[in-house]
Amino acid sequence: MIDEERSDEELSDERRHHDRSRLIVDVRFDGGDATGVASTKDISMGGLYMTTQADMAIGDTLSLRIPLAGRHVIVKGDVVYSNPGHGVGVRFHRLSDEARELMETELPKP
């Protein structure tokens, strides 16, 4: 039986495999029909939410450049949530070992 009283936020949280950390940094993105800079709202080892006015569709693949500890993590990811005019949720593709190590040590603990 489906529990229709649960919020979208609760259901969304169940799909996450990684704890999110609040981190606000400027991320450069390129993909779909959009290129630019957006601010992250939160980030995890599995993805991030970024605020942007850019119009991106669910399924668009983006290349992201995320500044951490004076270095940059470059990852690819897919838009899995879109709130046009406000922001998008991005799920990362497989992280390189270097990106994973940097994120594990530098992301704030939730």
Domain annotation for the chain: domains and CATH numbers: 19-106 (2.40.10.220)
* Residues 6 or more apart whose Cβ sits within 8 Å of residue 23: 40, 42, 43, 107, 108
- Amino acid, res. 31: G
pTM: 0.78
- What whole-number distance in Å separates Cα of residue 44 and Cα of residue 59? 19
Rounded alpha-carbon distances, angstroms, from residue 92 to 3, 4, 80? 29, 29, 10
Q: What is the pLDDT along the chain (110 residues), one digit of tens a residue?
A: 433 343 334 334 444 455 666 778 899 999 988 999 999 988 989 999 999 999 999 999 999 999 988 999 999 999 999 999 999 999 999 999 999 999 888 887 76
